[in-house]
Chain A
């Protein structure tokens, strides 16, 4: 197991199950684990329509991960300018706040280090037209990585700009006439 990978005992201790899509649809939020070129764990919490509550990147290191996460997220977001440093919030998780099993595990681990977590949370904002925009994620496999984008609250993950670009570039097959 790579040195930065979270052992199961820490993953369990950090889990945050439950929750609802706040001020959007109030439906349960699901946590989806995403592939990441970074060594840590990357999760997105979103409602069935694709509205993102929070994106969480976790790594078992000492350093500040914010810059790595900023670059990673910009590579997955349309437009890239949607990712601001001010929307990334850092937390260090220590043993005592994580329950007995994780506390004892971390107390034995050498070198001693906390768990670094970076949260990306984009609060609803007004677009140029004055309408409210929210952060969405499209997890469809038409594109190799998840795509984050902003759209009106009434949108769905299906309004993903990358999927639309694929649709535009793929010629429609002519309908068969009977």
Chain B
């Protein structure tokens, strides 16, 4: 297999979510699409209640995210071309408007500007 050269680039945005969670649908799906578009990567939705998706959702959360016996959703991860995975956002346990504020802050962050400019913060 040929070894890739050059700096790592964002490869995929993943959101661990559930359809019944108001912090997830539609709020995080809509903002996740927006973020993925700005990063130029595909968006992957992992439903914790869907067989075939929940194992990968659990793996991401247990390995890179905020794991608890009954973990918080949504959890948002950015996967990089070199295999690194960065946790970006975990839903707030307070009202939905607080998670909405976190999305607004993430979309307006220095971090996003830096990644779009080719940096790897």
Residues of A within 8 A of B (CB): 16, 18-19, 45, 53-54, 56, 66, 85-100, 103-104, 107, 119, 121
Contact = CB atoms under 8 A, between A and B. Distances in A.
Given A92-B87, A96-B89, A97-B105, 12 more contacts: A16-B95, A19-B95, A89-B70, A89-B72, A90-B71, A94-B87, A95-B109, A96-B106, A97-B88, A97-B102, A100-B108, A103-B105
Contacts of B90: 91-93
Interface residues of B, number: 27
Contacts of A121: 93
Nearest to B105: A99
B105 A119 contact: no
A103 B110 contact: yes
B66 interface: yes
A87 B68 CA distance: 9
Nearest to A98: B105
Contacts of B91: 91
Contact of B72 (A86, A90, A94, A103): A90
A89 B98 CA distance: 16
A104 B92 CA distance: 21
B67 to A, nearest CB: 7
A77 B71 CA distance: 23
Interface of B: 66-72, 87-95, 97-98, 102-103, 105-106, 108-112
Most central of A66, A91, A98 by chain B CB within 10 Å: A91
A54 B68 contact: no
A117 to B, nearest CB: 8
Nearest to A119: B93
Given A98-B105, A107-B110, A90 B68 contact: yes
B109 A16 contact: no
A54 B92 CA distance: 11
Contact of A45 (B69, B88, B94, B103): B94
A97 B72 contact: no
